[in-house]
Each structure stands twice: as C-alpha cells, then as structure tokens.
Chain A
C-alpha cells in the first residue's frame, strides 16, 4: 500500500535552517508529482511547495518563495525540502502528499513532521 513517511522535524532557532525528508513506498514514485503541505498549530492547511514527477518543475507558495527549496531523488523514492531563514510563523506540521497523475488533487498524505521555530 502507499506509504509516505516524513522526517527531519525538530526545534530550530529563528534564522536557522532545517531539511525535511519524505520517503515513499508502495507505488511507482517517479511517476507522480509530490507536494509539501503544512498546518500551523490550531490552523488550517497551507500548500507550501510542489515538484513534478521528474524534478524539472518546482513551485512554491509566496510565503516561502526564496527561502524553501524542494527537491527529489527518484532513485531513493524521496523528496526533500530545505528550509532556510526560518521564522516563527513557519512553525507547523509539515506533511508530504502525492498528487494523482491524471487529475490535480492530493490522493495520499503522510502523517507529518513537526517543525518548531523558537528561540
């Protein structure tokens, strides 16, 4: 079955960096676009970034553009997100999600990893 497992979260000081990973299994990873979606404590879902199936196209929400970078390694069934210049408002659970290949929607989600930005 499809599984998405995130890691790399933790507590980090404002202005510092962190790298998240999401390991996928149970499907042909290199055929699917992947995304990061976050949820701040007590808040709603926010799309953060997406990457095409082959890694050639990358997209970012305005709130993270220039600070976050998404990448993928299809040989390891993994996507990453490098987060630089972190701010308190980046505190959230970060989840990876698979985009269905035929229509734009998120068909599978991981459980997420918590990032806390605090001094």
Chain B
C-alpha cells in the first residue's frame, strides 16, 4: 500500500521561508507522479496551489513555489504571511486514476 508522507506540523515566522515536503514511504517522488499541492483552512474547500510539480494555479501568489528536492516533492513559501496559516496537502497521481494524498501539514505562522 502506497503511503505519502508529509510533516504533521511546521511553524514559520512572518516573513520567513518554509519548505514542506511530500515523500513516499517506499521510493522517490518524481515528476512522473504529477505532484500537486492544496491549501485548506477549516470548514473550507481545498484551494489548488501547485500542479505538475511546479506550476502555480491561477491567482496563486508567486511566494508559493513547487519543486522536487532530493527524493521528495516540495512546497516552498517565501515571505510567509499570517493568512498562510492553513493545512497543506500534497497528492500524487499513481496512474490508473489512483490518487494518494499525504496526511497534510498544519502550518502555523507566528
């Protein structure tokens, strides 16, 4: 069974930079899994941030960026703002319309 791993929580200071990662319990994440990232605040629908590893969705500020770092997908927030405090989820497309979400990272900005 495929398990996608994310840091359960992370903290960043306002104006700081944070990198959240998305890994596989067995193996490496690469662009072939089309990693995408979603931001969710409580009670709200997820908002698409990044798709296809590093493409920002329409309207997403350029302080959000995606990449592959080593054997993981990564979401970097540069110049964190208070309203970036949210849950962040990555999802990998495993082929055959099989999608696996990571457990999510709760980001605190303080």
Q: How distant is the Cα of A44 from the Cα of B101 in the complex, in angstroms?
A: 8
> Which residues of chain A come closer than 8 Å to B97, judged between CB atoms?
33, 50, 52, 57, 59
What residues make up the interface of A, taking CB atoms closer than 8 Å to B? 33, 35, 37, 44-47, 50, 52, 57, 59, 62, 95, 100, 103-112
* Ranked 9 nearest A-B pairs via Cβ: A59-B97, A105-B51, A47-B99, A105-B36, A104-B93, A109-B45, A44-B104, A45-B101, A50-B97
Q: Are B104 and A35 in contact, CB atoms less than 8 angstroms apart?
A: no
CB of A32 to closest CB in B, whole Å: 13
Asked if A44 contacts B89 (CB within 8 A), the reply is: yes
- Does the CB pair A44–B45 fall under 8 Å? no
In the complex, which residues of chain A have a beta carbon less than 8 angstroms from the beta carbon of B47?
A: 109
With both chains docked as a complex, state the minimum distance between the C-beta of B55 and any C-beta of chain A, in angstroms. 8
Q: Nearest Cβ in chain A — how far from B107, in angstroms?
A: 14
Cβ-closest chain A residue relative to B98: A59
Q: How far is the CB of B41 from chain A (nearest CB, A)?
A: 13
Q: List 15 A-B contacts (CB under 8 A).
A: A33-B97, A44-B89, A47-B100, A50-B97, A59-B96, A103-B34, A104-B99, A105-B34, A105-B36, A106-B36, A106-B38, A107-B51, A108-B48, A109-B45, A109-B46
Chain B 68-100 residues near chain A, CB threshold 8 A:
87, 89, 91, 93, 96-100
Residue among A33, A45, A62 making CB contact with B46, cutoff 8 Å: A45
Nearest CB of chain B from residue A38's CB, rounded to whole Å: 10
Contacts of A105 in B (CB 8 A): 34, 36, 48, 51-52, 91, 93
